[in-house]
Structure 1
Amino acid sequence: MSRQHVPAVLGLVAGALVAVPAPAAHAATVQVRCSVPDLVAAINAANSSPGPDTLRLARKCTYELTAPDPVNPGNGLPVIASEITIDGSGATIRRDGREDNVPKFRILFVGPTGNLTLTRTTISGGFATDCPAFPDPPGLACGGGISNTGTMKVTRSKFIGNTSQSDVFAQGGAIDSPGTGSVSETEVTANHVIYSGSATGGAAAGGAIANDGPLTVTRSRLTGNTATVTKDTQSTAFAAGIISFAETTVEDTVIRKNRSFAPGGFARAAVANGIPQPGRLTVTGGAVSDNTSDAPHGVAQGGGIANNGLMTVSRVEISGNRAVAKDGTARGGGVRVGPFGALDLIDSRITGNTVDAENGTAQGAGLDNPDGGTLTARRNKVLRNTATAKNGTAQGGGLYHAGGPEGLGTTTLEENTITRNRAGDGGGIFKASGLLTLNGDVIRNNQPNNCSPTGAVPGCTG
């Protein structure tokens, strides 16, 4: 889903002969006792006062929310409408989901005029069932922990056990940001995005984070998050870690043990961009490891990374990821390039990834470019990746390439090492069609062969 964030336009009115300066707005700091009513009152007061405000929470307090904000019941706390810093000092703001009679609501919503800095705070148990950032189509759900339509800066915080669930389209289990945002030194773990509808073609995207506006994520950890859809609805569960619908930068971040699950549908990667759009997803440093895309009798498209737009991946450890589809199709255990994708992959390690499709088709355990996309890979190590398909077809342990329906897909390799990969055929590279070129690459010690079919890849033998 693509959205456009429309900034407010401020007009300057001239005409006075003498300019009289307004009184200066001073920053205010408020100590908030360990009390939900006090926290609510502090946010309301900050919204009403000029200038920035800092709310210092009681150290290690748990603010237990048992009812939503009466004005905006999709949220637990009042909308952030001004410049507010919440310094948690190790405190937790949590929706009390232990009781069945507690309504479902997210924790925080940053409105279009809001500017929230959240630091040293744990956000837990939020449950989004609406999407204030995109209110017109009914049935959407966005941002179980925070939905941001203004400006958001999150540092040294934790998002644990938040959920976004919808019968139409759900995104951002922990964070949804169509505004301007940054997340740094933050743990985002065990959050969930769920499509619970029965109609064909629903979707759940961004188990940890969904981005629709410029966002930077640095030195953080996105672990153990999930994206799931209703069985046999041909729906899509994608980006259990992070989904990008706009310009997104991820730096020195660990994205690990996230799971996309779509029985009879489409399960797609831990890191992905959405429908083709001009914003680039850039991933630099860090690791994308031990993630799983599982689509029994469906299609698993990328275990670690799936690209169907503009993407650059540099100096990333892409290891131990799995694309699994029993009785279906599994593609791109490490990295998958879609039909509209253009991926630059540089100085990275693609190791120990697998595709497995018992009774089905498994292709491209390390790298997969099957549908007409563009892959440019330079100075990467593609090692010990495995494609298996008991009673099925397994091709391209290191790389699977096909030109797509029109044969226009291209893969350009330069100074890569592709070794010790395994498949039923094309242990190193399997080229079905399209254009694939080598330039100084080392392709050896793959099983049962380095490149297949014989002669399909000029410069590759054995």
Structure 2
Amino acid sequence: MRIVASAGGAVALALAVVPMTPVQAASLNPDHENNRIACNAGALTDAISDANGKGGGTIELARDCRYLLGAIDNNSGPSGGPNGVPVITTPITLHGGKGTSIERSSTPGTPEFRIFEVAAPAGFLTLDDLTVRNGHADGDGADGDGGAVFVNEGRTLLLRSVTLTHNVADRHGGAVNNDRGRVIVRSSKVDRNVAGRDGGGIDNDEGVLTIDSSTVDRNTAGEDGGGIVLSDDAYLTLTKSSVDRNAAVGNAGGIQSAGHLFLRSSHVDRNTAGEEGGGMVTNGTAVIDSGSVVGNTAGTDGGGIRNSSVLTIGHSSVNANSAQRGGGIHNTNKVWIGRSVLKDNLAATQGGGLWNDDEATAESTDITGNRTSGPGSQGGGVFNNSGNTVLTDTTVARNEAVMEGGGVFEVPGSEVTLVRTRVKDNEPDNCRPAGAVSGCVG
């Protein structure tokens, strides 16, 4: 994999990765309704070339129109891959309307190409109120990245009320590959895209990605990150959005992050990973605030979240996830959970709610209704494999294990500390080994 684990980093650095001042493009068509271009591929490519030549502009697309692209326009972008329209090198807005789409033709014999590439010296592409469909980035290098859009270093893509769907990348970023640029997604959908390797929906490689009031759903990755992938030093802020029902053959059905992840009032639900992290794999700093990680499935560890760096969860729910170990959360580094709920998660062997191998802290949190299901399984609520788990003002109740440690199981040599915490009504017992967890009875 290209992803390298990273811990630390200041949030403020996100603003310094690429220039954040938007460029205002002069409109080529100030009278929107009377200046919409004709509904054909030639008119679209001519308008983009004209706008590039004039230093940018707004192109009004025809309503109820499918701009069908049947041929490669160029291979001149830095990616080296074929593009369906001229490379965007100036600030250009494509404004659609009801029923407007830009598509690679599905006619047999149509060559494979992505739709857009955004490049120097001043590429800033805004897509507004339209659908981009059926792009195919073909290749084993950068030419195989970004099925719909490839964003080069220092360049920007802004999506407003846009749907990116049924695009394919042979390598990374089924819909979008962001190569050290900036991508802003507002009130949009990134769904049903496919990456041969990583990032079924979006691959964010050392860039800044902002997703607001949008969905990244039903995408698929042949390796990791069914919905979204963040490389080392990349940033993602996800606000009032969903990453749902994505799938990865390898790790991270929903989000694979080795960068800096900020999830606010969003949900990562019903994703599937063949290996680790059904909902999320966090190898970098991650903050989940007022979010949900619900109904995800992993083939091995971390049905909801597989954490190996620094994870903070507040006012959130990690519910009804499943895995072999750590149905809710599988932690091998540092996790803090506050005023949250770990409920109804399932592990086949160890740690229905939480499996800890380093430092785990839960404060004012409910760990309830979790269970293990396999023969000899332990730690329905919490399984502390090594390191320390500290539970403060927390309830561990109504969890179940097949063999022992219905509430908490502490591996000898590790330590679980209860501070004003109730462990009760777990089956077949509350804590095991007997007497190992101070303050736990039964």
Query: Is the TM value for this pair above 0.5?
Result: yes
Q: Check conservation: 1:81, 1:115, Cα contact below 8 A.
A: yes
Counterpart position of 1:451: 431
Cα distance in 2 for partners of 1:140, 1:321 equals 30
Cα distance in 1 for partners of 2:92, 2:425 equals 58
Cα distance in 1 for partners of 2:212, 2:89 equals 22
Cα distance 1:94–1:364, how it changes in 2: closer, same or farther (>3 A)?
A: farther
Q: Check conservation: 1:79, 1:110, Cα contact below 8 A.
A: yes
Counterpart position of 1:382: 367
Cα distance in 2 for partners of 1:28, 1:243 equals 39
Q: What is the aligned counterpart of 1:81 among 70, 76, 89? A: 89
% identical equivalent positions: 32
Counterpart position of 1:343: 335
| 1:128 Cα offset (Å) | 4.2
Unmatched tracts of structure 1, length 5 or more: 10-23, 195-203, 229-236, 295-299, 324-329, 357-361, 404-408
Q: SS of the residue aligned with 1:205?
A: coil
Counterpart position of 1:209: 228
Q: Check conservation: 1:87, 1:118, Cα contact below 8 A.
A: yes
Q: What is the aligned counterpart of 1:364 among 348, 351, 356? A: 351
Counterpart position of 1:158: 189
| 1:444 Cα offset (Å) | 0.9
Q: SS of the residue aligned with 2:426?
A: coil
Q: What is the aligned counterpart of 1:260 among 273, 276, 281? A: 273
| 1:364 Cα offset (Å) | 0.8
Cα distance 1:39–1:238, how it changes in 2: closer, same or farther (>3 A)?
A: farther
Q: What is the aligned counterpart of 1:141 among 145, 163, 171? A: 171
Residue 272 (str. 1) matches residue 281 (str. 2):
yes
Q: What is the aligned counterpart of 1:132 among 142, 147, 150? A: 142
Q: Report matched runs for 1:63-462 at 5 Å.
A: 63-71=67-75, 72-89=80-97, 91-96=100-105, 98=106, 101-111=109-119, 114-130=123-139, 132=142, 141-149=171-179, 150-165=181-196, 170-178=197-205, 179-194=207-222, 204-212=223-231, 213-228=234-249, 237-261=250-274, 266-274=275-283, 279-294=284-299, 300-323=300-323, 330-338=324-332, 341-356=333-348, 362-370=349-357, 373-389=358-374, 392-403=375-386, 409-424=387-402, 425-432=404-411, 433-462=413-442
| 1:89 Cα offset (Å) | 3.5
| 1:192 Cα offset (Å) | 0.9
Cα distance in 1 for partners of 2:143, 2:111 equals 20
Q: Check conservation: 1:302, 1:332, Cα contact below 8 A.
A: yes
Structure 1 ranges of 4+ moved more than 6 A: 3-9
Q: SS of the residue aligned with 2:44?
A: helix
TM-score, normalised to structure 1, is 0.75
Cα distance in 1 for partners of 2:142, 2:261 equals 21
Q: SS of the residue aligned with 1:459?
A: coil
| 1:396 Cα offset (Å) | 1.0
Q: SS of the residue aligned with 1:268?
A: coil
Q: Check conservation: 2:81, 2:143, Cα contact below 8 A.
A: no
Q: Could you list the per-position Cα deviations for residues 328-381 of structure 1 after superposition, in whole angstroms to 9, with x for gaps in the alignment?
A: xx111111112xx2222222211111123xxxxx111111113xx221221111
| 1:81 Cα offset (Å) | 3.5
Cα distance in 1 for partners of 2:46, 2:127 equals 18
Cα distance in 1 for partners of 2:17, 2:291 equals 33
Aligned length: 387
Cα distance in 2 for partners of 1:107, 1:379 equals 49
